[in-house]
């Protein structure tokens, strides 16, 4: 286990034993039943990728089949509270049951599981259980989980989430400081039936977040994915109030990755498998005034390979950087810039309605033995409406569209390929108890 991880685990243990600087969560436990929670999220999901013909690495134009999918699911989470006492215990289950709508003979975009012959499942179910323990403000959970960590995040952009199986400890014993450590041995993508569909050997995570005050936050996280990669992430976020209705937010994020010899890498320009490294960083500034916000972001990739996830760690969502939509703009040596605009129509008498639009342009992408100056661009739009009251309160409809184009040298043989994509989600949450 890495020294940094051992240190973090030691801090977690010590923090649980010292006197906390604020109220203990466990001291407020009411019991298994009294604090129990039960929720179901009904989702109707549609994803359409109208992939255009692209030029492969041999310079040939290749047709790409349609990969649209349309399906219905119910995602459930039932969780007890904690028992009372010095150490509290609890348990729960998490899972989903789904069925396809229409023929969906062209599954293969992460939405619907496929049989060995490539045909789509008509219906399927997944999930698992977990147990948890808590002392003071430190909680340890073991079992099936949906993760939200910058270095190991569950993909939640498909019909159902990606599941990891393992143990995760989170400690908040010191006011403003949150420590995290965990180990995971199974990874199940959104479109997989097998609970260890990605055949994850071992992924160890550790990290810390600290809130200096209401305006300044910082974080560090690390990941050791056995025989795959070592990854480190840092983030600093500062909010500068200008007046009661406006302000500026500055955000700096960066990843540094080193791959093991057995790992696969994306967009590599070196043949030395023992020396593949990558550093990607991004700086963004957001100005908000009333219901409006405008963000400018610059992102840059350095090293002898592009940023990567997928086969080496997770389901391609562990990239907490601003220039990430359909494309993540992660090509080898790529530089990218973004302009984003968001408006909350609640300021105009339509609460719950919002619109986000963005344009990202990437350049100077290195494609081995082809070019050092490939480009890509994406025009992104998303409209979301959430019901604010009544029997359908919190139900939401989200429409997302991406127009993506890349130069011939950076077509689907190397990355996504020219694509027009639609995603439509109708979410209806139901609180059971």
In a domain, 332, yes or no: yes
In a domain, 13, yes or no: no
Q: Provide the number of structural domains found in the chain.
A: 1
pLDDT of residue 20: 46
In a domain, 264, yes or no: yes
pLDDT of residue 197: 86
In a domain, 8, yes or no: no
In a domain, 330, yes or no: yes
Segments forming the whole domain that contains residue 156: 23-431
Cβ count near 169 (within 10 Å): 21
pLDDT of residue 397: 98
Q: Which residues, at least 6 apart from 232, have a Cβ–Cβ distance to it below 8 Å?
A: 151, 220, 221, 222, 223, 255, 256, 257
Give the closest residue to 252 by CA, choosing from 203, 297, 306. Answer: 297
- pTM (2 decimals)? 0.90
CATH number of 386's domain: 2.40.160.10
Query: What integer is the mean pLDDT of 223-247?
Result: 94
In a domain, 347, yes or no: yes
Residue 277 token pair: 């490294």
Q: Express each pLDDT in 380-406 by its tens digit.
A: 999 999 999 999 999 999 999 999 999
In a domain, 16, yes or no: no
Query: What integer is the mean pLDDT of 31-41?
Result: 96
In a domain, 5, yes or no: no
């Amino acid at each position: 286990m890495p020294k940094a991880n051992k240190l973090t685990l030691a801090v977690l243990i010590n923090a649980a034993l010292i006197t906390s600087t604020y109220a203990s969560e466990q001291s407020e436990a009411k019991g298994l039943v009294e604090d129990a929670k039960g929720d179901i999220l009904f989702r109707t999901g549609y994803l359409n990728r109208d992939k255009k013909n692209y030029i492969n690495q041999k310079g040939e134009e290749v047709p790409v089949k349609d990969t649209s999918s349309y399906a219905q699911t119910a995602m459930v989470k039932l969780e007890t509270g904690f028992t009372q006492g010095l150490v509290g215990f609890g348990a729960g289950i998490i899972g989903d049951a789904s069925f396809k709508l229409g023929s969906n003979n062209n599954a293969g975009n992460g939405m619907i599981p496929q049989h060995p012959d490539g045909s789509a499942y008509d219906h399927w179910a997944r999930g698992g259980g977990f147990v948890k323990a808590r002392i003071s403000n430190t909680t340890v959970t073991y079992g099936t989980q949906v993760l939200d960590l910058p270095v190991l995040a569950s993909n939640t952009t498909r019909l159902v989430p990606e599941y990891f199986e393992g143990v995760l400890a989170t400690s908040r014993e010191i006011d403003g400081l949150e420590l995290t450590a965990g180990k995971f041995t199974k990874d199940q993508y959104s479109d997989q039936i097998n609970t260890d569909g990605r055949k994850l050997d071992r992924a160890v995570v550790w990290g810390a977040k600290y809130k200096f005050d209401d305006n300044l936050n910082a974080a560090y996280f690390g990941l050791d994915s056995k025989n795959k990669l070592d990854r480190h992430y840092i983030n600093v976020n500062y909010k500068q109030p200008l007046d009661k209705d406006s302000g500026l937010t500055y955000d700096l994020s960066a990843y540094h990755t080193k791959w093991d010899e057995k790992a696969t890498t994306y967009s590599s320009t070196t043949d030395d498998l023992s020396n593949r490294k990558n550093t990607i960083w991004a700086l963004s500034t957001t100005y908000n005034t009333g219901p409006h916000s405008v963000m400018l972001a610059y992102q840059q990739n350095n090293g002898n390979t592009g940023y990567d996830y997928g086969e080496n760690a997770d389901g391609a969502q562990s990239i907490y950087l601003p220039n990430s939509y359909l494309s993540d703009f992660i090509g080898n040596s790529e530089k990218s810039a973004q302009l984003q605009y968001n408006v909350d129509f609640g300021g105009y008498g339509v609460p719950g309605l919002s619109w986000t639009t963005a344009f990202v342009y990437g350049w100077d992408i290195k494609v081995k033995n082809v070019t050092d100056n490939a480009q890509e661009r994406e025009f992104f739009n998303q409209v979301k409406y959430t019901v604010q009251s009544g029997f359908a309160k919190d139900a939401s409809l989200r429409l997302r569209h991406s127009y993506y184009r890349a130069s011939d040298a950076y077509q689907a043989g190397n990355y996504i390929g020219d694509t027009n994509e639609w995603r439509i989600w109708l979410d209806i949450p139901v609180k059971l108890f």
